[in-house]
Amino acid sequence: MLRKDNVKEALAAGVIGALMGFFFSFIINYFFLPVPTTAIVNALGNGTSGLISGFMGGFMGLLFYFRKTLM
């Protein structure tokens, strides 16, 4: 059953995950990927940073959600 407390915790974890995803995407694009010279290099860089930041954001959001609800 879905309770309001669970929804609030899930939303808070989602916001934390989104902020972590933004942070990782920014760091990867700014420090590790070179300035794109062509459209395909730009697309590959965006795909790479999106993959990494999406995974890290989802992982961190899930980690915070489990940490708050299970402990």
pLDDT per residue as tens digits for the range 17-56: 788 888 888 888 888 878 889 999 888 888 888 888 888 8
**How much is the pLDDT for 38?**
93
Would you give the DSSP letter of residue 2? -
Structural domain range at position 66: 4-70
- Whose tokens are 């730009």? That residue is 42
**By CB neighbour count within 10 A (0-12 exposed, 13-18 middle, 19+ buried), where does 11 fall?**
exposed
Distance separating alpha carbons of residues 53 and 57, to the nearest angstrom: 6
Q: What is the pLDDT of residue 39?
A: 92
- Structurally, the chain folds into a number of domains equal to 1
